[in-house]
Amino acid sequence: MFLFTWILFIDKYVALDVLFAGIDIPFNCEFVVAQPQNDFVLLSEIYRVSSSQSLQFNRFGNWSQSLGLSVPSCGLYARRGNLNGYTLKTGLKIEHTDRGQHDTEMNSFSTDFFLEYWRYLEKEINFTTEYHYPPDNAYGGKLENGTWTGVIGMLKSGQVEISNVAFEMTAERSEAVDFTLPLYNVRTGMIIRKPSSVALPWNAYLKPFSFKLWAAVLFIMLLSVACMSATRQTSIASSMFLVTAAFCLQGQNLLQRCTSLRLVMVTIYLTAVIVIASYSASFISRLTLREPALPFTDFNEFLQDGSYQLAMLPSTSRLDFLKSSRAELIRQVYKKTVAPYEKNFPTQELVGVESICTKDKYAYFISDKHLVYFSKKISCSYAEIPGASYPGSVAIALRKGSPYTKLFSFRVQEMRRSGLIKTIFIRYSSRLRQDSVEVRYDIDVTDIAPILCILLAGILTALCILAVEFHISKKVGPHRININ
């Protein structure tokens, strides 16, 4: 962007294209020529889309003694929004292995929703695209010796003018390239294969009711026992037995038919039915909506777990984030779980994402927008680690000092304000939404271990009591047991 507006005063009869033949007036330069006409001064803007293109004239305004200055009220890029079919060289990273026959087809193998923005820009700004592909098929990272790889490297060397993929804006990258205003925000996070075991903790059977509610149920049972014994029809012991049976929804054959006892029994049964119904509802819904048991939930637990390796695309801002983070924790994550495997990282996102299905103990670092795109192409379900992510913004990158940066920024801002960016993304992601692969949870022995343990404990206790009874009856001798 030039800081000044240039004005050149020349004579009425000078032909501008002859005067400026061979002189480049860059696209982002405000250069106005003032030529006196009969009763006013004509102001025209001149520029070239690129140094090899013909000179463009735009009528800019008039100045006359009587009317003063009249110039357009809109800004530079609202007036100068047309590249006249100029061919921009762009750098594109291919995301698929199955390349097309012709170069022009290759552009459809990138992340499609960005290309929809691109097609919109092509139409709005009126330019065509010449695709170039980085030899290492990478987005762009900085090597130790300061050289940039991938598309960023191509931009830096001036091989291409603009990127055809959205780049995450980082401080390091902005030293090598220029960015437009951000297109959208992303969150880069860790995914792993969805664990097939689910969390069914030992206290799962107590969880449906809170501690206070359990206390209330116990209190009601005791109160019921008290009420029942107060009718003087049953003993305390048999009242306890009857109340417990009622709360297990077991019927009984009461010999006594006195009204007070019946009233108490009706109350107990009604209470028990409500308590049991709400317990079952809560318990069953907990069983149905079980969450997979994640082995870790954030970077810290990931590091402590230590059994997973973390992979991502090489030469990306994600890798740079882990590599050059100021947080000790993140640097440790890089050192222990990333660096040893860095040489073997897949250069295609799809291959990397698919690896979480085919390899065990494999975590993958990916941005949420890419995940939307690739999640439907992979063969297993994935789980996102909620606490292992970081936010960022992506934008179009241009060669440092490119004359088109402001123009693209202007258009990007317009697209954001009009909601187009969001609309395209939503339309795009809903098109991808199919029936996702469901993980089915089979109940295995470990899941019902609590029930089995209670059963086992019951059997053991019963055996012990039987042994004790046996012993006593031997000593005391057989006698009739009165069950009533």
Ligand X SMILES: *[C@@H]1O[C@H](CO)[C@@H](O)[C@H](O)[C@H]1NC(C)=O
- For ligand X, the closer of residues 65 and 145 by Cβ is 145
Site for ligand X in 114-143 (CB under 6 A): 126, 143
Euclidean distance between CA atoms 151 and 134, whole angstroms: 6
- For ligand X, the closer of residues 129 and 355 by Cβ is 129
* Shortest separation between residue 73's beta carbon and ligand X, angstroms: 10
Q: Residue 87 interacts with ligand X (CB under 6 A)?
A: no
Number of residues that bind ligand X (CB under 6 A): 10
Strand ranges, E, within 285-325: 309-311
C-alpha 180, offset from chain centre: 23
Q: Residue 82 interacts with ligand X (CB under 6 A)?
A: yes
Binding residue (CB under 6 A) for ligand X from 34, 56, 61, 439: 61
Site for ligand X in 446-465 (CB under 6 A): none
Q: How many CB atoms lie within 10 A of CB 234?
A: 20
> Per-residue x/- mask for ligand X, residues 22 to 41, rule CB under 6 A?
--------------------
Q: How many CB atoms lie within 10 A of CB 412?
A: 22
Residue 183, CA distances (Å) to 10, 35, 186 in order? 43, 41, 10
Q: Collapse the DSSP code of 441 into the 3-class scheme (helix H, G, I; strand E, B; otherwise coil) and give the result.
A: coil
DSSP string, 33-79: EEEE-SSSEEEEEEEESSTTSPEEEEEEEEEETTTEEE--SS-HHHH
Site for ligand X in 144-173 (CB under 6 A): 145, 147
* Shortest separation between residue 48's beta carbon and ligand X, angstroms: 13
Stated length of the chain: 484
H or E segment at 239?
Answer: helix 236-247
Binding residue (CB under 6 A) for ligand X from 84, 157, 418, 446: 84
Q: How many CB atoms lie within 10 A of CB 390?
A: 17
* Shortest separation between residue 136's beta carbon and ligand X, angstroms: 10
Which of the ranges 77-85, 151-159, 319-327, 448-456 carries the binding residues for ligand X, by CB under 6 A? Answer: 77-85
Binding residue (CB under 6 A) for ligand X from 44, 50, 58, 62: 62
* Shortest separation between residue 138's beta carbon and ligand X, angstroms: 13
Binding residue (CB under 6 A) for ligand X from 36, 75, 85, 306: 85
Q: What angle do CA 116, 117, 123 make, to 5 degrees?
A: 90
* Shortest separation between residue 305's beta carbon and ligand X, angstroms: 34
* Interface positions with ligand X (CB under 6 A): 61-62, 70, 82, 84-85, 126, 143, 145, 147
